[in-house]
Amino acid sequence: MPDQLIFGMEVFLNGLMAGVLYALVALGFVLIYKASGIFNYAQGVMALFSALTLVGIMEGQVPFGHLINAIFGTEIHHFGWHVPAVLAILLTMGVMVLLAVCVQKFVFRHLVGQEPIILFMATIGLAYFLEGVGDIMWGSEIKKLEVGLPQGINTLIDETTYGWFGYGFFIDNLDLVATAIAILLVSALVIFAQYTKQGRAMRAVADDHQAALSVGVSLNFIWIMVWSVAGFVALVAGIMWGAKSGVQFSLSLIALKALPVLMLGGFTSIPGAIIGGLIIGVGEKMFEFAVGPLVGGATENWFAYVLALIFLVFRPQGLFGEKIIERV
């Protein structure tokens, strides 16, 4: 088999894995947009905030330690304990639920009925607020995230493909884990949305707020629930991306990777986020592999957005988005 074909297969598989990671970020956007019509600019910062909180809890860091020390002249930084990863994840989830309650109570409850652009701007404010709070709460240094996820080349795939092609494929163990978790997460979300009372209520709210309210669905509860689920998705994305780069401010920029996925897959479709992520992941990697060397490389961001733009032109609602027909 020609070398370029073998290399192309490796790039294709890695593109799929990268796409899963993009889809993880995009999922959080979709959930909130689907249920409330809000494009949540703060989704990337939520991933950062949740990952910061997770590391802080695991390491027994005193929240707002720098602030407390500056005000009271104390020297407290750590509680002196280490929390196991599973327990820390559960506690972080609790923090994200609390955040969802606060967001709903102090921000969006007061903005019911406002134009979508107002709600969008509120999420911009929320992003900056969370960024600052995360910084003061946990500090801005880069933190190593150790939740026991495997990293590095998968030797089984390496050896097997070497046996087949005389060239071992590189597949990162972390990407395999991320794929498995994404499958579980999406399955759980679909089951939740289709087969639970709360899930059906969420879908009802997504379809028509007024109609849902008229049959007794609590808009307040549903929105808190949706923001909590989006917080959980943000935590998962934060763990996966944080394991690659350490937990740091730049985690919030992963949202940049989700935008073309959303444009392509549609803002209202969970399968769209997955398929969109895979198309973007594979497309940008294959384009970089085939065309990158001819034009000096670093084509991935460009390609992702151009592909999304092409989809927008021909299918504005995205691959799986709902076509909006407004009757006059």
Partner 1 sequence: MKLKLASLALGMTVAAAPAMADLVFPSLSYRTGPFAAGGIPFADGYADYFTLLNERDGGIGGELARVPECETAYNTEKGVECYEATKDDGALIYQPLSTGITYQLIPKVTADNIPMHTMGYGRTSAKNGKVFSHVFNYPANYWDGASAGVNHFLEQSGGSLEGKKITLLHFNGAYGREPIPTLEALAEKHGFDFNAIPIDYPGQEQKSQWLQIRRERPDFILFWGWGVMNQVAIQEAANIRFNMENFMGIWWSGSENDVKPAGMGADGYKSVQFHNVGSDFPVFDDIRKYVVDAGKAAGAGDQVGTVLYNRGVYAAFLAAEAAKQAQAANGVSEIDSGMMRDAMESLSITAETMEAAGLPNFGPEFTISCENHGGEGMAAIAQWNASTEEWSLISEFAPADASVVGPLIEADSAAYAAESNITPGCS
Report the distance separating Cα 20 and Cα 278, nearest Å. 6
User: To the nearest whole angstrom, how small is the minimum distance from the Cβ of residue 319 to partner 1?
Assistant: 22
**Contact flags string 174-213 toward partner 1, x per CB under 8 A:** ----------------------------------------
Kindly indicate which of the ranges 104-112, 147-155, 187-195, 229-237 contains the residues binding partner 1, using the contact rule CB under 8 A.
Answer: 147-155
Q: Which CB atom, from 91 or from 286, has the smaller least distance to partner 1?
A: 286
Kindly indicate which of the ranges 33-41, 85-93, 246-254, 305-313 contains the residues binding partner 1, using the contact rule CB under 8 A.
Answer: 246-254
Instruction: Examine residue 74 and tell whether it contacts partner 1 (CB under 8 A).
Output: no
**Distances, alpha carbon 230 to alpha carbons 6, 71, 113, 160, 315, in Å:** 38, 35, 22, 38, 26
| Residue closest to 260 by CA, chosen among 239, 240, 281, 238 | 281
Q: Which CB atom, from 55 or from 119, has the smaller least distance to partner 1?
A: 55
User: What does residue 143 show for φ and ψ, rounded to 5 degrees?
Assistant: -115, 140
Tokens read off for 38: 């809000």
User: To the nearest whole angstrom, how small is the minimum distance from the Cβ of residue 242 to partner 1?
Assistant: 9
Report the distance separating Cα 295 and Cα 313, nearest Å. 25
Q: Which CB atom, from 69 or from 317, has the smaller least distance to partner 1?
A: 69
Among 198, 220, 248, 317, binds partner 1 (CB under 8 A): 248
**Contact flags string 295-324 toward partner 1, x per CB under 8 A:** -xxx-xx-----------------------
**DSSP letter (8 states) at residue 168:** P
- Do residues 288 and 299 touch, judged by C-beta distance below 8 A? yes
User: To the nearest whole angstrom, how small is the minimum distance from the Cβ of residue 19 to partner 1?
Assistant: 11
User: To the nearest whole angstrom, how small is the minimum distance from the Cβ of residue 181 to partner 1?
Assistant: 18
Q: Compute the CA torsion angle 16, 22, 24, 26 (nearest 10 deg).
A: -130
- Do residues 270 and 86 touch, judged by C-beta distance below 8 A? no
Instruction: Examine residue 271 and tell whether it contacts partner 1 (CB under 8 A).
Output: no
Total chain residues near partner 1 (CB under 8 A): 49
Helices (H), the chain: 3-36, 43-58, 65-72, 85-106, 116-138, 155-165, 173-195, 197-207, 209-214, 219-245, 255-265, 270-290, 292-295, 300-314
Instruction: Examine residue 135 and tell whether it contacts partner 1 (CB under 8 A).
Output: yes
Q: Which CB atom, from 186 or from 258, has the smaller least distance to partner 1?
A: 258
Instruction: Examine residue 49 and tell whether it contacts partner 1 (CB under 8 A).
Output: no
Q: Which CB atom, from 63 or from 139, has the smaller least distance to partner 1?
A: 139
Q: What is the largest CA-CA distance in the chain?
A: 69
Instruction: Examine residue 139 and tell whether it contacts partner 1 (CB under 8 A).
Output: yes
Tokens read off for 173: 């163990």
Among 5, 80, 141, 163, binds partner 1 (CB under 8 A): 141
User: To the nearest whole angstrom, how small is the minimum distance from the Cβ of residue 231 to partner 1?
Assistant: 21
| Residue closest to 23 by CA, chosen among 149, 174, 183 | 183
Report the distance separating Cα 207 and Cα 31, nearest Å. 13
Among 78, 82, 250, 310, binds partner 1 (CB under 8 A): 250
Binding site for partner 1 (CB under 8 A): 7, 10-11, 14, 17-18, 21, 66-67, 69-70, 73, 132, 135-136, 139-145, 151-153, 170, 172, 241, 244-246, 248-251, 253-254, 256-257, 284-285, 288-289, 292, 296-298, 300-301
